[in-house]
Chains A and B, each alone.
Chain A
Amino acid sequence: MAVLISLVPLVYLFVRVGSAGFTKFADLVFDARTLELILSSLVLAVLVSLSAMVVGTIQAWIAVRSNIPGRKVFAVLAALPLAIPSYVAAYAWIAVIPGFSGFFAAWLLLTVGTAPLVYLAVSAALARFDSSTEEVAASLGAGKFAVLAKITWPNIRGAAVSGGLLSALYVLSDFGAVSIVRYDTFTRAIYNAYRASFDRNLAATLALVLVVVTILVLVVESRSRGTRAIGTVIANRLNRIDLRGWKIPLVALLSGIATVSLLVPLASLIRWSIAGLPETDWAQVLGALYNSVTLAVSGGMLTALFAVAIAIIVVRFRPRFGFVLERSVWLTHATPGIVVALSLTYFANQVAPWIYQTSFLVLIAYLALFLPNALSAISTPLRQSPVALDEVASSLGLTKLQTLRKVVLPIAGPGIFAATTLVILTVLKELPATLLLRPTGIETLATRLWTETSVASFSTAAPYALLLVVLAGIPAWLLNRAIRKDLEPINDLERV
């Protein structure tokens, strides 16, 4: 049922485009404007993922393997941009430099915004990596750079590429940041096509092309993941590499990255918040906050509920169709928020008009969008209760349901609670679907920020941006860290 809901948008999109006829579809796809959009989206995605790979890999290597001063601080700074939604960062930059727009702006914002994805993947790989192989290579006559190129890089390449593809996926589905810096990609064009002309065919066609491109990237990503596991290397002690003369330039580089990714946006947010404080319409802010929290809590709980049900079925009962079930949910992961929103408006208009313009539709969008994330976050604690416990419980005469209630859920409970909170916080930051589907007059923190930024009233927008970072970004980041704690690099093992 949940899976059906999450698949509805995709199916509907196909039906919609199909009904318009293939020639019409082909005309639209091969239209010069569409091709231009494909090109500009792909160029942005490719360049951002490349630069994010470079930045994230360098950060990870320095943080995990070098003896740079302030290593731990830089390790936190490298992951922290995940706490700032990309459209908030875009707002913050444009509020500092009003002319901050176009390709370069989009590239810079998305590079520093998605480098943490690479950073996390590569630092986990580096922590698993047996660094005594580097010493062996040195004893066989390989110099420092030869060791990096021949030993270290081949072993983290898979993680870097996988992180880079995640970055590309993010760029393809990003709507807020590219729109604010006015760089035309698919998501922005879909929104404009929908808003400007209500030309459903154009919007739907663009959306379908975007989905296809995204699925291609996703397939490549899962392939690269498959080849990443190189044997079972036991995490060994890590030997830190003495950077000697490189220390100062690298500290400067890392500080520079942190300035772009964190310092400038945060300084700008604070500055405009202070500037805008006297004229802040508190009733409006509180109203938006109330709407955001209500929508996020109900959307998050709903999603978590479905996720728990699916995860229990897949993880604890291991049905034969479990694999298919999990995979089909992941398919919707390829669908950018704007596409889900768009297809739901068609769906509501044609099939269920009574649902249109209600918050219920927004909740369905959240469910479709965040079920994959919720599923993976909730499967982890559920897997932690060992199957042996189930067997013991059943040997003591408990039925499967009783075992679930008395053994599995109590053990997984705290983990499920944390995962649910994480989903709620993620929903709180959601922009495109909320923007498109919210009932008229319902404004959230994200939509308010969007509206105010598009009319360049930066001081009015500031409190919303600040609230989004403080209420949603930072807690989500902290929780995410706690949930994936076991991936944290193993640091500072004493060696004698």
Chain B
Amino acid sequence: MVSTLALSGVSKAFGSKPVLQNLSLEIANGEFVAVLGSSGSGKTTLLRLIAGFDDPDSGEISISGKLVASKNVFVAAEARKVGYVPQDAALFPHLSVFENVAFGLKGLSKAARVDRVRELLKLVSMESFENQSATELSGGQKHRVALARALAPEPELILLDEPFAALDAELRARIREEIKLVLDKVSSTTILVTHDQEEALSIADRVALLRDGNFAQVGNPREIYSAPVDLGVATFLGDSVIVDGVVENDKVSTSLGQLTLLNSAKEASRGKVAIRPENFYLQPDLNGDSIVVGRQFFGHDAVVEVKTPKQLIRARSSGPFALEVGMKVTVWVRGAVNFYPEA
């Protein structure tokens, strides 16, 4: 089967500053891929290359088997059939909601056009707003209209450029859900660009982690979270406690005990282990060698700071049952850990 999007060896530099280096990625039809990266990692540039707003310095981009950008080919944005939802929704301010959604519809009879727009507005639950001016909508409503507008011409691919960044936390989670539902319903192939780990991990089928212009890791959210390829990815994806360790008898020996290895490592090699805060188990123990020194309460859960003989660790525990400051504990690590040998 032909991939909906294929990047091969794509590079782009602005002046002497390389932004993307030799990127390759294939996205299957109907797949939802999140490109995750911190600001300046090149993720917006990547999106712009796919959309056709910029052309790559080298490499090839194909959409549904058709070459759209290479050394000799450049298909303009208007001929690519790629839907685009920018960060601020960018509704056309001089047009109504209806006219915004209808903008990309071509070659339809008037009645068919009206039907199509109404159908899309219904899909995003905005059917009662069709005559409103685009500027009168709230942030979440704008995004829903922008999505309907992008879906209208039935594009091969939808690009979402940090579409929720401008919304406040609560609205953000809700709109994210809604948009995911809509995209699933029309089985759209989607690329979401974001700097928010939680967003990428919760919404996507696959996450591509972009770092310094390269994909540091591509995989499904579970594996990328539980098996980061290196310490940098591990810490970027979420809080981690880093502990020194040595490999002995297929286990890694650390100040927190003998831990089971998730990946394979050479016997006797030294390196570091990354442990997620939720993988700690704190057992209250009057004779324990560790002591709780701090506690941050978040409601549903809490982060407990524990001083072990060797270092300070942060462990996540369920909010109502979090330990009190001053309690003595023994620290256990649940599950297997990833070992990163020293270079």
Contacts and interface: CB of A to CB of B under 8 A. Distances in A.
Contacts, number: 94
A136 B84 contact: yes
B120 interface: no
B173 interface: no
A233 B93 contact: yes
A141 B91 contact: no
Contacts of A140: 78, 83, 103-104, 149-150, 152-153
A155 B83 contact: no
Contacts of A136: 84-86, 90, 92, 146, 149-150
Contacts of B146: 136
Interface in A102-150: 130, 132-133, 135-143, 146, 150
B221 interface: no
A193 to B, nearest CB: 47
A230 B92 CA distance: 10
Contact of A133 (B81, B82, B91): B91
B94 A230 contact: yes
Contacts of A146: 78
A239 interface: yes
B80 interface: yes
B51 A234 contact: no
Contact of B77 (A132, A138, A231): A138
Contacts of B77: 135, 138-139
B106 interface: yes
B133 interface: yes
Contacts of A137: 92, 103
Interface size class on chain A is 20 to 34
A372 B138 CA distance: 39
Nearest to A236: B88
Interface size class on chain B is 35 or more
A474 interface: no
Interface in B82-111: 82-88, 90-94, 103-104, 106
A142 B45 CA distance: 21
Contact of B135 (A143, A151, A231): A231
A154 interface: yes
B14 A496 contact: yes
B135 A135 contact: no
Contact of A132 (B88, B106, B153): B88
A233 B45 CA distance: 23
Contacts of B78: 138-143, 146
Interface in A138-184: 138-143, 146, 150-151, 154-155
Given A142-B104, A496-B14, 11 more contacts: A130-B88, A132-B90, A133-B91, A135-B84, A135-B90, A136-B90, A139-B77, A140-B78, A140-B104, A141-B79, A231-B134
Ranked nearest first, the 7 interchain pairs of A and B with the lowest CB-CB distance are A231-B135, A140-B104, A138-B77, A139-B84, A154-B94, A132-B90, A132-B86
